[in-house]
Amino acid sequence: MKSKNKFTLSGNIVDIRANSIYQGTVYVENGTITNIVKEDPLAGGTGVKEDQYILPGLIDSHIHIESSMLIPSEFAKLAVVHGTVATVSDPHEIANVLGIDGIKYMIANGSKVPFKFYFGASACVPATPFETSGFQFHEKEMEELLGMKEIKYLSEMMNFPGVINRDPWEMKKIGIAKKYNKPVDGHAPGVSGVDAKKYAEAGITTDHECFTMHEALDKIAYGMKIQIREGSAAQNFDSLIDLMKDHSDKVLFCSDDKHPNDLVKGHINQLIIRAIKKGYEPLKVLRSAILNPIEHYGLDVGTLQVNDPADMIVVNNLEDFTILQTYVNGIMVAENGKSYINSVPEDHPNNFHATIISADKLRVSPKGDKLKVIEAYDGQLITGFLSEAYKVENDNVVSDVESDILKIVVLNRYEKAEPAIGFIKNFNLKNGAIASSVAHDSHNIVAVGTSDKAITEAINLIIKEGGGISLVNGTDKKTLPLPVAGLMSTCDGYRVAGSYQILDDEVHKMGSKLRAPYMTLSFMALLVIPELKLSDKGLFDGIKFSFTELFSS
């Protein structure tokens, strides 16, 4: 990291508060902007660099750091290269594995590097009573978390039916957040009309799950802000960016979940470039990416004003938006694609007690005329519900590769248990299997494959590592270990990204047409997103919010 007590930067100053751009010089001392001098371009000899623009750093308004498979300090190393200086981070994933200790781990690790992590109090631990997780939060835990100065908000209220119907426990959590004057994040996919109104009136202030304009406009009408999401799996930018026309003050940008190989390629800067190329006014776009999250969550992130923290980026122009330099509290943390954030040594806290399984545990006896099949959608967290014929071998319902109806398994990672089994369409694997201990929200082991043998081998690879992602393709067996809660690696972020890319490429060679097959797989156990999902306890109907049988007559 390059740190100077006192320095200046000159160029085109982008003042998003004043909605103006002018030539000038920024004066920084001890991490704070002490002065900004406007230069007269007609005066000559000012020394202003006219070929660069100085503006505040970018913010991801909703992300689960754990989904990058990197601990916070390594996430920061990759993110600053793209101009990101802060995140609004829901530690929901590690909280479901390690409880409050997991959240404190994230806060402590993030504090070791020059980057601004703002964590929330995870509202859904567990997310539902229909799955096994590592911890359960009660009123005591919510009071402790929301009373901490490091906790900025109550993170996504995933039990939206409970909020809409005023479930006492959901309302109690919202009440505690209001007591500490902290905003409440939403999570209500597909909710509109009267239900959206009830959801907002309960105190929900944001939503990142919108996938149609109709839904987003309803929520805006009832006072909510919309976080336009573009992650590794869920990608809603194209569907929602036209909110910028009339509602830019209600728009924030987020990634939600970003795998490491995608984070190497870009972050919030990609959304800014795309929005500007679609014709939206740069200053309006930048307000959504920077000022809106700062004001909504009350973040201590500089906006390029005198007496602000020197959280700044330098770009070549507002069209290409090439990041030249990134500063956090006056420290240069990245320059011309090179990160200056160093790795920090870390422990490997975990909660992993699954035991090796055999292929006979995956046998399914035929019991009905049709099979209920999960239909995965590329770029979406929602799934479909299909009724399909099935293939039987030796009185065992098996993966039907020709019809792309593959067996999917979720295995409890917290204790020895029998696997839950379902079937899924659109993974398109022609051979082998993949598995992951990153499985929202409780992070049991999830696997999909073309044979019981391959699925079992992929699961056992993860069990041997105490967490990770794996691939089995004949004799080819690969694993990316994730020893921190079975979710994250402590290795160098670029090395993890490279290892993940190898696995991702191999899955595509095995036939998958999904853009992010591991990310999509991780959401197939996410019960709070309809329509059909699989938990470690069985097949789950996300519309009726109850378990359902695997077969139908």
User: Domain span at residue 523?
Assistant: 359-552
In a domain, 463, yes or no: yes
> For 377-391, how does the pLDDT look when each residue is reduced to its tens digit (9 = 90+)?
997 888 999 999 999
Residue with tokens 């000899």: 45
Which pairing describes strands 2-3 and 331-335: parallel, antiparallel, or unpaired? antiparallel
Q: How many domains does the structure of the chain reveal?
A: 2
Helix (H), strand (E), coil (C) string for 198-240: HHHHCCCCEECCCCCHHHHHHHHHCCCEEEEEECCCCECHHHH
Tell me, what's the pLDDT at 484?
A: 97
In a domain, 521, yes or no: yes
- DSSP structure class, residue 136: -
Q: Are residues 192 and 273 in the same domain?
A: yes
> For 476-492, how does the pLDDT look when each residue is reduced to its tens digit (9 = 90+)?
999 999 999 999 999 99
Q: Are residues 183 and 257 in the same domain?
A: yes
Count of residues in the chain: 553
Residue 477, amino acid: K
Helices 72-79 and 493-509 cross at an angle (nearest 10°) of 80
In a domain, 36, yes or no: no
Max Cα-Cα span within the chain: 87
Distance CA 238, CA 213 (A): 10
Residue 48, pLDDT above cutoff 80: no
In a domain, 351, yes or no: no
Sheet holding 116-121, edge to edge: 58-63, 84-89, 116-121, 151-157, 184-186
Distance in angstroms between the alpha carbons of the first and the last residue of the chain: 64
In a domain, 19, yes or no: no
Distance CA 379, CA 377 (A): 6
Distance CA 243, CA 364 (A): 47
CATH classification at residue 280: 3.20.20.140
Question: 241: which 2 tokens?
Answer: 């960016």
Residue 463, amino acid: I
Distance CA 90, CA 176 (A): 17
Domain end call among 300, 324, 340: 300
> For 335-367, how does the pLDDT look when each residue is reduced to its tens digit (9 = 90+)?
999 999 999 989 999 999 999 999 999 999 999
Domain end call among 300, 315, 333: 300
Domain end call among 280, 300, 320: 300
Residue 46, pLDDT above cutoff 70: no
> For 95-148, how does the pLDDT look when each residue is reduced to its tens digit (9 = 90+)?
999 999 999 999 999 999 999 999 999 998 998 889 999 999 999 999 999 999
In a domain, 254, yes or no: yes
Distance CA 256, CA 441 (A): 13
pTM of the model: 0.93
CA distances from 312 to 9, 86, 210 (A): 10, 11, 30
Tell me, what's the pLDDT at 1?
A: 63
Q: Hey, how many other C-beta atoms are within 10 angstroms of the C-beta on 283?
A: 18
Q: Are residues 418 and 532 in the same domain?
A: yes
